């Protein structure tokens, strides 16, 4: 019996080696539906299919409910950003805010922008006037939209949304912070820019 096993393996290998492309079509040449072409297989006539509900890209970051939605288990907005704050996070948040939000909300988040002035129906609200709002509220608005503002979930990944929220909090703090809160090396420059010390 033990002699038959090596013989059987040898016969299988010989048979596999003897198979040519004649029995199996190469994937590159076999019949298939190409993207953006018609298909008779599906009722809508399209070869490309929509992903099933709930499908997420493989590259998307997943995290806790608070991180992904800005809400806790009870559905309330989380009070604070659920990830540790870093300088890099604030710097990237500023970049994304300037790129995505400032056109309507202004570079200071005060609602003063050329785009906002030309909005006939409703102008974007000044974000700085809402310090009582929880961090989760701002995160959810970015991802879900609010009023006439569309969702920016397609432009900003969850981490980037939290970075924008972190930068927005820094903007809010900067508008009424006393001069003593600034680093010593920046105080002189700030005094020169404003023509005198702040209270």
pLDDT tens-digit readout, 41-75: 888 888 888 888 777 777 666 788 999 999 999 99
Question: What b/e readout covers 86-96, taking b as 16+ CB neighbours within 10 angstroms?
Answer: eeebeebbbeb
> For residue 34, is it within any domain?
no
Angle of the 158-176 helix axis to the 135-144 helix axis, nearest 10: 130
The two structure tokens encoding residue 70: 């800005």
> For residue 170, is it within any domain?
yes
Q: At residue 19, does pLDDT exceed 70?
A: no
Question: What b/e readout covers 27-55, taking b as 16+ CB neighbours within 10 angstroms?
Answer: eeeeeeeeeeeeeeeeeeeebeeeeeeee
Domain count, the chain: 1
By residue range, what is the domain housing residue 84?
Answer: 65-176
Paired with 146 in beta bridges are 149
> For residue 41, is it within any domain?
no
* Range with lowest mean pLDDT among 14-28, 126-140, 141-155: 14-28
- List CB contacts of 153: < 8 A, sequence separation 6 or more: 142, 143, 144, 161
| Per-range mean pLDDT, top range of 24-33, 115-124, 127-136, 156-165 | 156-165
CATH code for the domain of 88: 1.10.760.10
CB atoms near residue 155 (< 10 Å): 13
> For residue 69, is it within any domain?
yes
Higher-pLDDT residue of 114 and 177 is 114
pLDDT band at 15 (very low <50, low <70, confident <90, very high): low
DSSP string, 158-183: HHHHHHHHHHHHHHHHHHH--GGGS-
Say what the pTM is. 0.63
Q: What percent of the chain has pLDDT over 70?
A: 84
Q: At residue 17, does pLDDT exceed 60?
A: no
> For residue 7, is it within any domain?
no
> For residue 25, is it within any domain?
no
The two structure tokens encoding residue 158: 């969850």
> For residue 10, is it within any domain?
no
The two structure tokens encoding residue 56: 């997420």
Q: Are 157 and 93 in contact (CB under 8 A)?
A: no
> For residue 80, is it within any domain?
yes
Please tell me the predicted confidence (pLDDT) of residue 23.
63
Q: Are 70 and 142 in contact (CB under 8 A)?
A: no
């Amino acid at each position: 019996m033990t002699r038959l096993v090596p013989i059987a393996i040898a016969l299988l290998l010989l048979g596999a080696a003897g198979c040519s492309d004649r029995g199996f079509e190469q994937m590159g040449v076999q019949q298939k539906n190409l993207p953006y072409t018609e298909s008779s297989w599906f009722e809508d006539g399209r070869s490309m299919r929509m992903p099933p509900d709930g499908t997420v890209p493989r590259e998307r970051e997943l995290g806790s409910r608070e991180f992904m939605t800005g809400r806790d288990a009870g559905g309330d907005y989380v009070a604070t950003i659920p990830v540790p704050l870093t300088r890099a996070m604030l710097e990237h948040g500023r970049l994304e805010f300037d790129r995505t939000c400032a056109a309507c909300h202004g570079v200071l988040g005060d609602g003063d922008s050329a785009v906002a002035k030309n909005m006939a129906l409703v102008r974007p609200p000044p974000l700085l006037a809402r310090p009582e709002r929880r961090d989760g509220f701002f995160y959810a608005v970015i991802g879900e939209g609010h009023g006439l503002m569309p969702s920016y979930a397609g432009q900003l990944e969850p981490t980037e949304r939290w970075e924008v929220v972190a930068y927005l909090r820094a903007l809010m703090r900067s508008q009424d912070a006393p001069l003593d809160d600034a680093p010593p090396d920046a105080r002189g420059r700030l005094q020169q820019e404003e023509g005198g010390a702040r209270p």
